Structure 1
Amino acid sequence: MIIGIPKEIKTDEFRVGMTPSGVLELIKAGHNVLIEQNAGVGSGFEDRLYSDAGAIILNTADDIYAGADMILKVKEPIEVEYSRLREGQILFTYLHLAADKALTEVLCAKKITALAYETLRLGRRLPLLEPMSEIAGRMATLFGAVHLGRYNGGSGQLLGGAVGVERNHVVVLGAGVAGKSAADAAAGLGAKVTMLDINLERLTYLRDVMAPNVSMLYSTHDTIVNSIKDADLIVGTVLVAGAKAPKLITRDMLSLMKKGSVLVDVSIDQGGCFETSHATTHSHPTFDVDGIVHYCVANMPGMYPRTSTIALTNATLSYALKIASTPLNVLLKDEIYLGALNTYAGDVTNEAVAIAHGMTYKAVV
């Protein structure tokens, strides 16, 4: 198969779909790899490393899309890339279609076989989401702490405090990979941390492995309301795979919070879990609503592209090899790849995406 890796062009995105090492594995498996000139530079991978691995360097994204059977990316195509997609192509990337009706319609119109990293399941895990969730969770605490700084519009409190000063309170909504990562970072800085989730089994496990300054609560409207009243930093990491994130904090609830506190919405790719959230960029990461600082960067791991690209390749490579080496009629009999499939032959094949946009869902049989 001919696999194309275009340069990522979403604002402030410096990751690339595959490392040179990953490209070498694809080529050793008998595939041809086309990569756009300078696609890996933002992650510290020069063109020479890809050509040494056996990839063909092409000058433009148009050349990549025109020549490839499968497009391997990091982020979902943006509007300027829609016309480059070729009917019948395979697209393997993060898609987050529940928050993007326009892209969903384009993928259907072009009969793209769209496989999303974030909906590929392995048992109860989402293995292609996990590495980016881990990075985003740590970043949520670190950048939340930075934006508590007075010069960034925050309350002026140092996360973790100091000797003789009361510790800050960090609330983490969601106890998955991102939530645990955020809570670990906050606990390590010395904050008082409260995690909320509806999965009691997960909360029980985390109670036994987390630091003693981390407590667990079952998530209800009342426990959220009571927790945010004295919170300095709130990190939202809730995820319903493939679907829009539920709005756990409404605009009215902001009035309950302390002025200068910070909301970090890690769920923003799926529409955000705060009613007042809207996507921001690394260049302009925050905005203020009613005295509450919102940090809602839609590609948080893009801040650290070297680490993120290597971690992502480690997770996606084996699946990319399988997709490239297996006829679709065989591949789509495997529940793992059916779970990743979001559009196929002109239809929406992920029920949560169809519900989000009021579109017709069609199962692949």
Structure 2
Amino acid sequence: MRIGVPKEVKNHEYRVGLTPSSVAELVAAGHTVFVQANAGAGIDFNDDAYIAVGAKIVSSSVEVFSEADLIVKVKEPQVEEITLLAPRHVLFTYLHLAADAPQAEGLMASGATCIAYETVTASDGSLPLLRPMSEVAGRMSVQIGAHYLEKERGGRGVLLGGVPGVLPARVAILGGGVAGENAAQIAMGMGASVIVYDINGARLADLDRTFGGRVRTAYAVKSVLAEAIREADLVIGAVLIPGAAAPKLVSRDMLKTMKRGSVMVDVAIDQGGCFETSRATTHTDPIYEIDGIIHYCVANMPSAVARTSAIALNNATLPFVLKLANAGAEAAMASDQHLAAGLNVTGGTIVHAAVASALVDFN
């Protein structure tokens, strides 16, 4: 198969759909890989590294889409990329369509087959292609929150772990999934007082065992969440409903009860965010303030540590890319129900039930 890797064009996005080691595996399997010039340069995967493993370097994204049938990316296609898609294309990338009706409309109009990393499943019901980036974003959320709690950044001037004689900061993590667990791990390691909130009792029990009681857990009813928001110095939104828009757990009115200079990091922003006041930001302009509360809502957080993120993502996606390339999309999905769960758009139609429902609700 002819596989294309365009250079990412989202704001400060340095990750790359295929690393040189992934390209080497695909070339060894008999496939042709077209990589846009400098696609991996931002994370020290230069064109020579790709040429050395058999890739063909082309000068523009137009050439990538023209030459290739399978397009492998990291982030959702931007407007200028959607116009390059055709019915013959298979697009394999993060899409996060639930809160992005314009993108959904563009992909439907293209006629392309679009498979989303974030809805591919595993036999245990987990999301294996979302997991590595959730791990990264969860861990990052705490260090970002600690940074913006500094007074010079507009925060309360609170040290996350405190010092002897001074209490540590209070960290409320909304959601006990992969991102939430990783956030809790880092926050606990930094000495913060950490509580994870979730509505899945079994998951809370798992977290209690994992952390040996060093991270507290609480069932996320409305009254409990209201108290959590009021007392927290750092709130991390890490809620995920596969394929669907994130629920709004923190209302605008709740912000008025928070301590001035508190920080909110919305890891769920790709799915619309779990704070009512969330709106997507960029690495260029990452924060804004409402009612004295700092919001960090960068939609591609893991790109800040792009080399780590790209390698981790490729570790997870490469087996699926090989399957798509070796068998073709239709046969690959027919033989693998978990890959088929990633199919979001085909033949001009949204075919993932949760995504379709979320788009109706979003509009």
Same fold (TM over 0.5): yes
Partner letter of residue 136 of structure 2?
I
Task: State the secondary structure of the residue aligned to 1:256.
Answer: coil
Within 5 A, what are the aligned runs for 1:76-115?
76-115=76-115
Q: Distance in 2 between matches of 1:239 and 1:84?
A: 31
Moved more, 259-268 or 321-330: 321-330
State the partner residue of 1:153. 154
Moved more, 73-82 or 265-274: 73-82
Q: Distance in 2 between matches of 1:325 and 1:110?
A: 24
Within 5 A, what are the aligned runs for 1:210-359?
210=211, 212-333=213-334, 334-358=336-360
- Would you say the 8 A contact 1:154–1:260 is kept in 2? yes
- 1:35 CA drift (Å): 0.2
1:174-210 alpha-carbon deviations (Å, 9 max, x no partner): 1111101101100001111000111111111110111
Partner letter of residue 197 of structure 1?
D
Q: Distance in 1 between matches of 2:243 and 2:13?
A: 22
- 1:327 CA drift (Å): 3.4
RMSD (CA atoms): 1.1
Q: Distance in 1 between matches of 2:171 and 2:182?
A: 13
1:145-187 alpha-carbon deviations (Å, 9 max, x no partner): 0000111111011111111101211000011111011011000
- Would you say the 8 A contact 2:90–2:329 is kept in 1? no
- 1:100 CA drift (Å): 1.0
Q: Distance in 1 between matches of 2:296 and 2:359?
A: 26
State the partner residue of 1:47. 47
Q: Distance in 1 between matches of 2:16 and 2:329?
A: 25
Task: State the secondary structure of the residue aligned to 2:341.
Answer: helix
- 1:287 CA drift (Å): 0.3
Moved more, 99-108 or 140-149: 99-108
Within 5 A, what are the aligned runs for 1:28-43?
28-43=28-43
Within 5 A, what are the aligned runs for 1:112-131?
112-123=112-123, 124-131=125-132
Moved more, 347-356 or 111-120: 347-356
1:203-260 alpha-carbon deviations (Å, 9 max, x no partner): 1111011154310111111111111111000000100011100000010110111111
Which runs of 5 or more structure 2 residues have no equivalent in the other structure?
none
Moved more, 228-237 or 349-358: 349-358
Partner letter of residue 281 of structure 2?
T
- 1:331 CA drift (Å): 2.3
Partner letter of residue 168 of structure 1?
A
Q: Distance in 2 between matches of 1:356 and 1:166?
A: 42
- Would you say the 8 A contact 1:17–1:313 is kept in 2? yes
- Would you say the 8 A contact 1:66–1:86 is kept in 2? no
Superposition misfits of 4+ residues, deviation over 6 angstroms: none
Q: Distance in 2 between matches of 1:213 and 1:291?
A: 30
> What is the TM-score normalised by the length of structure 1?
0.96
- 1:88 CA drift (Å): 2.5
1:89-117 alpha-carbon deviations (Å, 9 max, x no partner): 00000000111111111111121110000
Q: Distance in 2 between matches of 1:256 and 1:343?
A: 42
> What is the TM-score normalised by the length of structure 2?
0.97
State the partner residue of 2:197. 196
- 1:8 CA drift (Å): 0.3
Partner letter of residue 328 of structure 1?
A
Q: Distance in 2 between matches of 1:358 and 1:226?
A: 32
Task: State the secondary structure of the residue aligned to 1:358.
Answer: helix
Q: Distance in 1 between matches of 2:88 and 2:247?
A: 33
Task: State the secondary structure of the residue aligned to 1:229.
Answer: helix
Moved more, 35-44 or 213-222: 213-222
Moved more, 259-268 or 96-105: 96-105
Partner letter of residue 239 of structure 2?
V
Which runs of 5 or more structure 1 residues have no equivalent in the other structure?
360-365
- Would you say the 8 A contact 1:342–1:348 is kept in 2? yes
Identity of aligned residues (%): 49
2:176 equivalent to 1:169: no
Q: Distance in 1 between matches of 2:210 and 2:119?
A: 27
1:36-87 alpha-carbon deviations (Å, 9 max, x no partner): 0000001110100100000000001100011110100000001121211122
- Would you say the 8 A contact 2:87–2:347 is kept in 1? no
State the partner residue of 1:362. none
Task: State the secondary structure of the residue aligned to 1:332.
Answer: helix
Task: State the secondary structure of the residue aligned to 2:231.
Answer: coil
Within 5 A, what are the aligned runs for 1:69-80?
69-80=69-80
Partner letter of residue 47 of structure 1?
D
- 1:357 CA drift (Å): 2.2
Q: Distance in 1 between matches of 2:112 and 2:231?
A: 48
State the partner residue of 1:62. 62
- 1:332 CA drift (Å): 2.8
- 1:356 CA drift (Å): 2.1
Q: Distance in 2 between matches of 1:44 and 1:177?
A: 28
